[in-house]
Structure 1
Amino acid sequence: MKLQVTQENLAKALGTVARVANTRNTLPILANVLVQTADNRLSISATNLDIAITHRIGSKIEKTGSITVPARLMQDFVSSLPEGILKLELTDNKLHITTDQYKSSINGIAADDFPVMPVISAGSTWKTGAAELKKALSQIVFAASGDDARPVLTGVYFHTIGGEVVAAATDSYRLAERKLGKNKASVSFLVPASAAGDLLRIISDADKEVVVTHDDQQVLFQVDDITLVARLIEGNYPDYRKLIPNKFGTVAKLARSDFLNITKVSALFAREAAGSITIKVDDGKVSINAIASQLGENTAAAEAEVKGSGEVTLNSRYLIDALNAFGGEKVEFCFNGKLEPCIIRSANDPKYLHLIMPLRS
């Protein structure tokens, strides 16, 4: 293998894939990235056997070939180099990297020992806007569970409702859902939240479209020159839609920034009570009370347009996470009673909602 590539392109590709390389795996080669020429381009790949990412970049190829090299060393080294042309040459499983100022070699392992990068030969394919998918992932991935005791809750659920693709995540205490738009495809699959997080980092503001292909075992996301393939989570996702109320006895519409600020202040006093805060809606305002038996008590309020009245006790961290996920200036805070689910939704964006289960006060 002998080629030339820009430092900028190679550093970007390594940054895309290297985080998937697993130094703690029992297979040492999984700590490497695969560097190979394909179709007159340079391909950089990494996998942990559950997720595989490939980034293809332009290069001037004089001789084809392939090698695997340590991901962290390769990424740190290339990102430390100045911008300009890098010359890569492979001899005896050593990858030589040369610039005007540097001459280095990295010991590699033959590419034949690297796992075959997964492909999906047959399956369902559909497309979605890159900006819309990126926004959806940023608003829902954090709501997935980190507890492997219930594997289905550790993923992001893509499915079709009424001809519209919907993405959702829940840890059973909170739920985030966003609609991605109309689609003729019939969609139902569960992506690990870690893979969804990697996909979120991959999608750039310049990307226009994401092509999604999936079968019963894997899903492939194609984002411009980057391919991410993930193993799907098996199991039936809970029927979360039945938890979402159709109407509410109490609704408060207020500035998101005001709601977030009074929640953050109240959370300081809620640490002793495992983050528990009591939210009261009445008389044109939303007020939050938090009590710390050893430190004191705090009540904070914000003006709101109110319909009905009531109070509910929530986990302050969940509420802060939810409010941080919303865009726009105003949100609606809706509930029916102390023990009923609370819904937070945007006053201007009907595609997204967040549900938080109450605490027993």
Structure 2
Amino acid sequence: MKFFCTKNDLLTGVNTVQKAVSSKSTQPILQGILITAENQKLTFAATDLEIGILCDTPANILTEGKMVVPARLFSEIVRKLPDTQLSIELRDYTLLIEYDQSNINLKGYDPEEFPLFPELADAESFTMPTALLKTMIKQTVFACSSEGSRPVFTGTLMQVESGTVRLIGTDTHRLAYRIAEIPENPELHFYGIIPAKTMSEIYRLLKDEDEIINIRFNKNQVEFEFGSVRLLSRLIDGQFPNYKQAIPQMCETKTYLSVRSFLEAVERASLMAKDNHVGNIVRLVLKEDAMNIAQTSEMGKIQEQIPIRLDGKELGISFNAKFILDVLKILDTDEILMELSGPFSAAVIRPLEDPNYLYLLLPVRTA
């Protein structure tokens, strides 16, 4: 194997696939990146056996071949290389990198030991705008659980039916829901829990110039293809909770308020949380034209007040401040509607300018 390429082309490939490199495996081959040189391009591949990423970059290929390089060391070397033409050649499992009057020898692994990327059998597919998928991921993936004891909550449910696609994330304390239309194939049906890690990687890798993403799936795996990137992921086994039953159909109180005012007030109220042994809990008291936001700790007390429009009953309710801030930070709207049905019932937050999104949040019981 021998080829010429630029530092930027190498860096693009490494940066694209590096998050799929296994950091825990005792198998050295899974801590490497497979580089294949053929058809005047380099294909970079990495996998931890749950998620796999492939990326193509251009190169001047003199002799085709492939090699597995240690991911961490190779990426550090590439980042330190000068911005010049690189000559790279494989000699007996050793990669020779030449630039200017210098060279680096890097030992690698046998590419035949690298696990193959399986092809999706009996796969169906659909396409959607990448900008739309990025928005849907941004609005839902943050609500997934980071604890692995209940795997179904560490992923986002993707549900495709009747010409629509839904993404739902929940950690049992809050739920984020987004729906969009994909009218090209109304008969298509898919129901799969995609790991949050996969969705976060898709979000990271999607670029503005990638206009369309192709999504292929079967009952065990899902594949995303866009630009020069292909990402394959397993689906999480298990039954996702019935989210439709969790969403209240009626409410006793509706309040309309500014996202920015609410966000800034809750952030200031959270300043006392560091020394609060009961957690980052804020108390909201809704009255006719104002919301009072307060938090008390051993260090003192903060009380904020912001203007609102109230329709229905006045009430007081407590929430984990982080869960409020998480959703306010990802909404691209100026005003929200919060729907409530008492101090111990779930609240629903909806952006006034986007009827396709909602966020459900359970209150915290306080003394």
Q: How does the TM-score come out when normalised to structure 1? A: 0.96
**What secondary structure sits across from 1:141 in the alignment?**
helix
Shift of 1:162: 4.6
In structure 1, what is the equivalent of residue 127 of structure 2?
Answer: 127
Which amino acid is 1:264 matched to? E
1:317 aligns with 2:333: no
**What secondary structure sits across from 1:13 in the alignment?**
helix
In structure 2, what is the equivalent of residue 207 of structure 1?
Answer: 210
- Residues 238-317 of structure 1 correspond to what in structure 2 (within 5 A)? 238-271=241-274, 272=276, 273-292=278-297, 294-308=298-312, 309-317=314-322
Q: Give a deviation string over 1:38-62, Cα, whole Å, max 9, x none.
A: 4432100100011100001111111
Shift of 1:306: 1.8
For residues 15 and 246 of structure 2, what CA distance do their matches in structure 1 show? 40
Shift of 1:101: 4.9
**What secondary structure sits across from 2:179 in the alignment?**
strand
Which amino acid is 2:209 matched to? A
For residues 105 and 98 of structure 1, what CA distance do their matches in structure 2 show? 9
For residues 92 and 110 of structure 1, what CA distance do their matches in structure 2 show? 10
For residues 307 and 162 of structure 1, what CA distance do their matches in structure 2 show? 35
Which amino acid is 1:72 matched to? R
Cα separation, partners in 2 of 1:102 and 1:334, compared to 1, 3 Å: farther
Which amino acid is 2:94 matched to? K
Does the 8 Å contact 2:38/2:61 carry over to 1?
A: no
1:346 aligns with 2:330: no
Q: Please give the root-mean-square deviation of Cα atoms over the aligned residues, in Å.
A: 1.4
- Residues 19-168 of structure 1 correspond to what in structure 2 (within 5 A)? 19-160=19-160, 162-168=162-168
In structure 1, what is the equivalent of residue 14 of structure 2?
Answer: 14
Give the share of equivalent positions with the same residue, in percent: 28
In structure 2, what is the equivalent of residue 356 of structure 1?
Answer: 361
- Residues 189-200 of structure 1 correspond to what in structure 2 (within 5 A)? 189-200=192-203
1:337 aligns with 2:342: yes
Which amino acid is 1:307 matched to? D
In structure 1, what is the equivalent of residue 171 of structure 2?
Answer: 171
Shift of 1:167: 0.4
Listed as ranges, the gaps of 5+ residues in structure 2 are none
**What secondary structure sits across from 1:246 in the alignment?**
coil
Which amino acid is 2:89 matched to? E
Which amino acid is 1:79 matched to? R
Does the 8 Å contact 2:221/2:233 carry over to 1?
A: yes
In structure 1, what is the equivalent of residue 231 of structure 2?
Answer: 228
Shift of 1:161: 5.3
Q: Give a deviation string over 1:112-131, Cα, whole Å, max 9, x none.
A: 01111222132110111101
Shift of 1:317: 0.8
Which amino acid is 2:160 matched to? T
Does the 8 Å contact 1:95/1:107 carry over to 2?
A: yes
Which amino acid is 1:125 matched to? S
**What secondary structure sits across from 1:72 in the alignment?**
helix
**What secondary structure sits across from 1:279 in the alignment?**
strand
Stretches of 4+ aligned residues off by more than 4 angstroms: none
For residues 180 and 206 of structure 2, what CA distance do their matches in structure 1 show? 15
Does the 8 Å contact 1:331/1:345 carry over to 2?
A: yes
Does the 8 Å contact 2:161/2:190 carry over to 1?
A: no
Which amino acid is 1:51 matched to? I
Shift of 1:82: 2.6
Shift of 1:29: 0.9
**What secondary structure sits across from 2:329 in the alignment?**
helix
Which amino acid is 2:348 matched to? I
Which amino acid is 1:26 matched to? T
For residues 55 and 144 of structure 1, what CA distance do their matches in structure 2 show? 27
Shift of 1:34: 0.1
Which amino acid is 1:140 matched to? T
For residues 157 and 182 of structure 2, what CA distance do their matches in structure 1 show? 17
Which amino acid is 2:233 matched to? A
For residues 263 and 101 of structure 1, what CA distance do their matches in structure 2 show? 58
Which amino acid is 1:251 matched to? K
Which amino acid is 1:232 matched to? L
Shift of 1:180: 3.0
Shift of 1:175: 0.6
Shift of 1:166: 0.3
